[in-house]
Each structure stands twice: as C-alpha cells, then as structure tokens.
C-alpha cells in the first residue's frame, strides 16, 4: 500500500530517526571556505565582471551563488582576506554613491503637496507626453506591412548591443525624426528599417549606414613623414638631439631609444643647382645613383667646375631628384590629408586643425645614421616603422617670444596692449562609476569675466597629433600639420566632473598674477595643470596664434584632503612658447561637427581643404614665410647695452682683452655693446668720483590711447548686439573695424 509522504515524514519526526536526504547542485554554506553577501545597491553585472580580476590578484577562487545572493570564496586564509578586502572596497564605493544620490534627492522637512501647474507648464507637459507617445509608436516591429522596407547586415565583429544599446534605444531619436520602425534580428545581425514614406525611410537607412561607416573607419595614429626639398647636394645625418635646442614636451613618452634629429651636411663644393641646370639637359644617358655614400665623387671637397658636372653622375642624379621633390611631397600631403579628413568627417566632436612650428625628433629609426637624400626619401621616410616625436615649442626665452610678437604686430598697433585669452587645461584622475577604475580625463576650462564660474568643460576623446610631420634638416625649425578632437561633457553640476569644476575659482590680488584655486573631491584628483595664454595675429588670410604655455605637476609630496581649498601658489615647472597658424575657413567648416546627430554628415568635403586658395602649394609657401619670420628672431635678437649718462671708461688690466665698463653703481657691463654718444672721462679707477644721482622725475600719467578707448567703448556694444558670439570672435570683429573708424588718427 502506498504511504502518504506527509504521513511518513510525520512518523519519522515522531520516532526521532533521521529523515531522507536530498541532493542539490547548489553549494551549501559549509562547502565553501568563506562567502561575501552582495549588498542590494551594487550592480551585480559589473561585480561579476570584476570577479576574474579579483581572482587573479588574490589567488582565491570566487563564484556567484545566485540562490543565496552572495559570492562564495575558496582558498587560503591570506587569499580569502585579500579577496574580501577587494570586495569590501567595491561595496564601499557603491554605498557612497547610493548615499550621495539619496542625499541629493532627499526632501528637507515635510514634503509639500504639488502645486497646480500654470497654463504654460501644462502645455509643456502635454508636449512632452505627446513626444513620448510618438517615440513609443515606432518601437518594436510594425504590426502591419509598411510600404517601404530596407535591410542592412551589420559586421559580425561590431558590438551592436554596446553601440546601439538594449532595444536599440540609441536609435529612438532617429525613429521619431524619420517616422520609421527600426529593429534587429540578433542571430543574423540584420537591421531593418520600415516606413510609409520613401524619403524618410531611405534617410534613416543612410544615416544608419553612416553610423556603421564611422565605427569601421576609426581615426588612426599613423603619421605621414615628409622630407622637404634641399637646395644643394647634401647628405642627411641622424645626430643626438641637443638639450638646449630641442625642447622636449612634458607629456612626451621617453621611449627606449635615444632621440635623434636630422641634420644636413654639404657634400662637395658644387654650388647651387641653378648654376648647372643648363648642363644637366645635355646629359643623354646618366648612370643611376649609387646607394653607397662612400663612393668616389660624393664626399670630395675639391671644387668641380660646371663643365665637369656631367661626369659626376651621382651629383646630377641627386639634384634632379631634389628638383622633383616638391611635386612628390604635394601629392603625398594631399593623399594623406584627404584620408585623414575623410576619417574624421563623421565624428561628432570639437575638431581643430592647426599647423604648428617646432622640431621633429626620431624615436624609432634605422641603425644607419648617414643617408643620401634619394634613399632617405624613397625608402626610410615612407616606412611605417619610422616613429617620430613632435615638439610644438620653438623657444624658452620670453625675449624671443616678445620679439616675434612685435614682428607680427602692425606698426600702428605696436604701442597698444594686445588682448590675450587664457585657457586652463586640468589633467585629473577620476573613478569610473561602474568599474571604480582610475581614468585619466582632461578638462579645458575658461573663466568668465567674474572669475568665479568656469565657462565650458571639454575632455579630449581622440587626439591625432600630428597627422603630417615635416623634416627640415637644413633650417632651424620643422613643422607639423595636426588635427585634434574633443567631446563636450554634460554640464551637470551634480556629476563628478561638475562638482569639481564648479568649485574652481580665480584668485586675483593687486600687483600679482591671477592664481587658480581648486578643491579635490572623493572621485576627482588633480594631477597636472597647463595654462595657455593665447594671442592672435593676422597674416594675410591666415591667423597666427602665439601661445605661452606653463606647466605644473602636482606630486604626492603635498597631498590635499578632499574638498580642501588649495591655491596654486607655486611657480610653474616649465614655461614654453609655441606658434601655430590656421585659416578661419577651417574653423567655420569644422564647427558643424559637434552638433551632428546620429549618422548625419556635415556640409564640408575633404576637397574643400585642398582646392583654390587652400591648395597645398600655396599653403607651403605661406608656411615658409612664417617660418622665416620666426627664425629671423634668433638671428637679430642679441644682448644690447642700456646707455647710461654716467658711463666711465676705466683702464683695463694689461692682460685683459678689452676695457671694462662700469656704470655709476660700479656694476660691470658685459660686451658686446655700442658706445653711447656722450662725453665720458678716461681716468684711473681710484680717481673716478661717482656723480650724484639725479632726482627721479615724477612719472607722467599715462593717457589711454585712441585704440584702447575705441575697443573699450565698442566691444561691449557688439557683445550686447550679438549675444551668441564668443569673446574672441567679438574682439576680432570690432578690431577689424578700427582701420576705417573715425576715431583712428591713421585712418586710410
């Protein structure tokens, strides 16, 4: 007879004998060595992703017990303690975030009943509800057959869920805008677009294709190296970079190899190509250039006459190749620049394209250090294994920087004070909200006139610097063509970045430079500071930007507690000066990209940067002019003597190469100098009586110039009339009207 299970269990309980045992696949609490309960405020998916990393670091075995909502741990006592310490750290991080969110949304005191909405607020609520219903209308698969249907197969390696989100919520705005249904069949990775309007559904499909193309054509860090054409027969040598000439950027990667520069060495006294170009046309069958730099006739110092130029085939062939380098370089530049612009055309970020002057050093290079121009240009320069480092700084001297600013300033404006824009770039380390991993973030901050609230916050996501690097082994400076991209952060005051940025201040005192005041938070730690002082000048249709860059590195030697206000009182670790140039048309075209929607294409094409007035040949000519202007500052700048009316020429010792000059304060003045046109007594040192110092004259009150008065009056008016224009553009527009203003005494 069958026995009821309940009755059997009751009988076994009454008799005191052990009941039947049941096996289970789930581990019992006694099976693991230890366990850690998962708090309710932790994201379980993120925690499970971190288990493998904790296992590798602690050597303990961790497993997720779904039934018990805990982490089971096996291992030695030390490994278990280390694993639980890591788990506690993650739990503490999520607890602080949950507590912070609770405090931000908590209502102080008794909650008040909601007030009745105004008519305008009711209309806004109705519009939002209508928009939400419109968005829901095109969710999922259409119930009825649509008139137009398109399909595209996604690449198998494309992480569709990560890029498009669950249920393709990234495409919600596109659904509503194009009034089309969009869904995906996961196994086949096919994306369908269906709608009743042919144009709208076709537009939606094209924008999805553009989104896929954007993901497939990610910008690369490939650099196109260009060797500029030499004017004489030279040999290129790789030499170590001198410390005083090459300014290494503070953010540069040192690398394993020594940094080398390219330097040209004349080979033979042949003179210039122009003196033998007529003879070169008479050569019928020249012998090919010899690769070895040690062949006869290449390193001779003896002067060869023009009549014997045909006998020196190496020289003739080299000069022929040099003469054709400009056309080849233009074609290389055009091809690489077109490809780079094509890659960034769909990027929805802040894009900047600049030409920067500096020096290009080699980080990875061949062992051979001597090359002829043709072999270097055809075999080494195009090789992708050649790695370079570009330094965008041309001097450390403020005097040289001021001399260049004077050369770029028009004569009628040299006595005026030039407007300067200050940009602070803050390198911070933040904790990721999901993984709690440290992330390096860069914040670009400009302060408003009140010096209390930052104006904007930008973090770079893609940096292409440079895309073109130009080696010039025959002059002081080389240059690079760079493109950088950055994405704006959301201006949320309660986010980690917003909390940090909204606490930034500028401290100003009389007679002192403005200083940055910051306060670290639990999630944001300031590590590096860069201050850029930018001044703009015009050179034809180009804008030249002179920048003074100051760098601070905040080490762990002086740590600051979270939310403790700290003033940046220390002097900068480095101060460098840089020069860059760009066209206003570049800024105008690239300004469309930050506002692109999903799959949208800007109005500009890569050809717009390469045709007409922006042709590569014309750009190279302008770059040569500006570089010559920069190099002239190093040729003309020399130490000068400030003339004093109290100069006395004292007899020098017999072994001295030149007389010693002293002013009335008995301070020697070094040579070279120009003797002032004043009467000076030649007397022995002991009989030289110092003249009585003259009473200082009262300084005359400086009168505001006509230009400053004009700018002070017109600039606020222009800003009021054009509220959407930033300060830089407003200053530029008002300054352009000064030449034709009636207040200008030198009006044309």
Q: Sketch out the chain's domains with CATH numbers.
A: 27-102 (3.30.1370), 137-216 (3.30.1370.10), 224-388 (no CATH), 641-687 (no CATH), 715-748 (no CATH)
Q: What is the pLDDT of residues 670-691, one digit of tens each?
A: 433 333 333 333 334 444 444 5
Taking residues 333-355, report their average pLDDT.
Answer: 88
**Mean pLDDT, range 709-723, rounded to an integer:** 81
pLDDT at 694: 54
Which 3-state string (H, E, C) describes 100-144?
HHHHHHCCCCCCCCCCCCCHHHHHHHHHHHHHHHHHHHCCCCCCC
Q: What is the 3-state secondary structure (H, E, C) of 524-580?
A: EEEEEEEEEEEEEEEECCEEEEEEEEEEEECCCCCCCCCCCCEECCCCCCEEEEEEE
Mean pLDDT of 359-380: 88
Q: Tell me the two tokens of residue 104.
A: 């931000």
Neighbouring CB atoms inside 10 A of 264's CB total 17
Q: CA angle 640-645-646, nearest 5°?
A: 105
Output DSSP code: residue 496.
H
Residue 340 to residue 387: CA distance in whole angstroms = 18
Q: What secondary structure does DSSP assign to 180-247, as a single string?
A: -EEEEETTTTEEEEEES-HHHHHHHHHHHHHHHHHHHSPPP---EEEEPPPSS-EEEEEEEPPTTTS-
79, HSE (Cβ side, Cα atoms, 13 Å): 14
Q: Is pLDDT at 203 greater than 70 in this prediction?
A: yes
Sheet holding 668-669, edge to edge: 648-650, 660-662, 668-669
Mean pLDDT across 123-142: 85
What is the pLDDT averaged over residues 409-424? 76
In this prediction, residue 703 carries a pLDDT of 65
pLDDT, one tens digit per residue, over 651-664 is 333 344 444 444 43
pLDDT beyond 50 at 452: yes
Phi-psi region of 497 (alpha: psi -120 to 50; beta: other; left: phi over 0): alpha
- Report whether pLDDT(367) > 80: yes
Contact of 373 with 234, CB cutoff 8 Å? yes
pLDDT mean over 606-611: 90
Assess contact for 691 and 678: CB atoms under 8 A.
Answer: no
In this prediction the pTM is 0.63
Confidence label for 9 from pLDDT (cuts 50, 70 and 90):
very low
Kindly report the average pLDDT of the chain as a whole number. 75
Residue predicted with more confidence, 283 or 252:
252
- Position 697 confidence tier, pLDDT thresholds 50, 70, 90: low
Q: To which residue do tokens 């080299």 refer? A: 318
* Per-residue pLDDT, 16: 44
Report the share of the chain in percent with pLDDT over 70: 71
**Which pLDDT score is estimated for 542?**
92
Instruction: Say if residue 735's pLDDT is above 70.
Output: yes
Q: Taking the CB of residue 564, how many other CB atoms lie within 10 A of it?
A: 10
pLDDT for the residue numbered 173: 84
**What does the pLDDT average to over 482-498?**
73
- Looking at residue 260, its pLDDT comes to 87
According to the model, what pLDDT value does residue 589 have?
92
């Amino acid at each position: 007879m069958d026995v009821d299970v309940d009755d059997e269990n009751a009988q076994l309980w009454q008799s005191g004998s052990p009941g039947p045992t049941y096996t289970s696949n789930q581990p019992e609490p006694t099976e693991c060595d230890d366990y850690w309960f998962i708090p309710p405020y932790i994201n379980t998916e993120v925690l499970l992703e971190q288990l493998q990393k904790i296992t590798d670091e602690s050597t303990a075995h961790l497993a997720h017990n779904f039934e018990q909502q805990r982490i089971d741990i096996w291992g030695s006592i030390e490994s278990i303690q280390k694993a639980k310490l890591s788990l506690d750290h993650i739990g503490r991080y999520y607890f602080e975030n949950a507590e912070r969110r609770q405090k931000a949304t908590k209502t102080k005191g008794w909650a008040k009943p909601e007030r009745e909405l105004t008519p305008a607020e009711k209309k806004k609520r109705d519009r939002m509800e209508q928009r939400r219903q419109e968005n829901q209308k095109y969710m999922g698969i259409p119930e009825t057959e649509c008139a137009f249907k398109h399909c595209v197969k996604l690449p198998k390696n494309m992480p569709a869920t990560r890029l498009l989100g669950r249920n393709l919520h990234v495409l919600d705005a596109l659904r509503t805008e194009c009034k089309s249904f969009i869904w995906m069949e996961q196994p086949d990775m096919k994306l369908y677009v269906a709608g009743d309007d042919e144009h709208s559904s076709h537009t939606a499909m094209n924008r999805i294709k553009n989104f896929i193309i954007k993901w497939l054509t990610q910008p690369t860090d490939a650099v196109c190296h260009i060797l500029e054409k030499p004017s004489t027969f030279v040999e290129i040598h790789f030499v170590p970079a001198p410390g005083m000439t090459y300014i290494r950027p503070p953010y540069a990667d040192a690398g394993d190899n020594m940094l080398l520069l390219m330097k040209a060495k004349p080979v033979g006294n042949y003179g210039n190509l122009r003196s033998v170009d007529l003879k070169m046309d008479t050569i019928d069958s020249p012998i090919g250039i010899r690769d070895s730099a040690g062949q006869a006739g290449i390193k001779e110092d003896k002067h060869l006459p023009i009549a014997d130029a045909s006998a020196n085939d190496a020289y003739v062939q080299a000069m022929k190749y040099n003469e054709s380098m400009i056309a080849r370089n233009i074609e290389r530049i055009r091809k690489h620049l077109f490809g780079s612009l094509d890659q960034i055309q769909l990027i929805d970020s802040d894009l900047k394209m600049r030409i920067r002057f500096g020096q290009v050093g080699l980080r990875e290079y061949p062992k051979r250090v001597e090359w002829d121009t043709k072999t270097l240009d055809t075999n080494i320069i195009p090789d992708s294994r050649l790695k370079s480092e570009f330094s965008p700084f041309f001097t450390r001297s403020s005097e040289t920087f001021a001399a260049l600013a004077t050369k770029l300033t028009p004569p009628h404006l040299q006595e005026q004070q030039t407007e300067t824009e200050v940009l602070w770039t803050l390198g911070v380390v933040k904790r990721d909200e999901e993984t709690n991993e440290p992330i390096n973030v860069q914040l670009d901050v400009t302060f408003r006139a009140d010096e209390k609230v930052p104006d904007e916050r930008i973090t770079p996501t893609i940096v292409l610097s440079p895309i073109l690097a130009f080696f010039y082994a025959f002059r002081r400076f080389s240059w690079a063509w760079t493109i950088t991209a950055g994405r704006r952060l959301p201006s949320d005051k309660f986010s980690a970045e917003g909390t940090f940025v909204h606490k930034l201040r500028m401290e100003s005192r009389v007679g002192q430079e403005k200083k940055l005041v910051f306060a670290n938070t639990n999630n944001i730690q300031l590590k590096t500071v860069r201050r850029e002082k930018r001044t703009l000048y015009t050179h034809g249709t180009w804008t030249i930007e002179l920048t003074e860059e100051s760098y601070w590195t905040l080490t762990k030697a002086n740590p600051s507690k979270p939310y403790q206000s700290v003033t940046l009182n220390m002097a900068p670790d480095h101060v460098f000066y840089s020069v860059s140039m760009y066209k206003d048309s570049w800024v105008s075209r690239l300004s469309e990209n930050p506002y692109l929607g999903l799959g949208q294409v800007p109005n500009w094409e890569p050809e717009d940067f390469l045709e007409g007035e922006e042709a590569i040949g014309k750009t190279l000519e302008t770059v040569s002019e500006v570089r010559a202007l920069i190099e002239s500052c190093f040729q003309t700048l020399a130490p000068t003597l400030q003339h004093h009316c109290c100069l006395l020429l004292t007899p020098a010792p017999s072994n001295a190469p030149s007389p010693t000059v002293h002013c009335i304060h008995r301070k020697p003045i070094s040579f070279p100098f120009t003797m002032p046109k004043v009467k000076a007594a030649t007397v022995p040192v002991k009989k030289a009586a110092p003249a009585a110092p003259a009473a200082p004259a009262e300084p005359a009150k400086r009168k505001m110039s006509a230009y400053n008065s004009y700018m002070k009056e017109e600039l606020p008016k222009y800003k009021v009339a054009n509220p959407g224009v930033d300060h830089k553009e407003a200053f530029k527009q008002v300054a352009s009207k000064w030449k034709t203003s009636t207040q200008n005494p030198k009006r044309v």
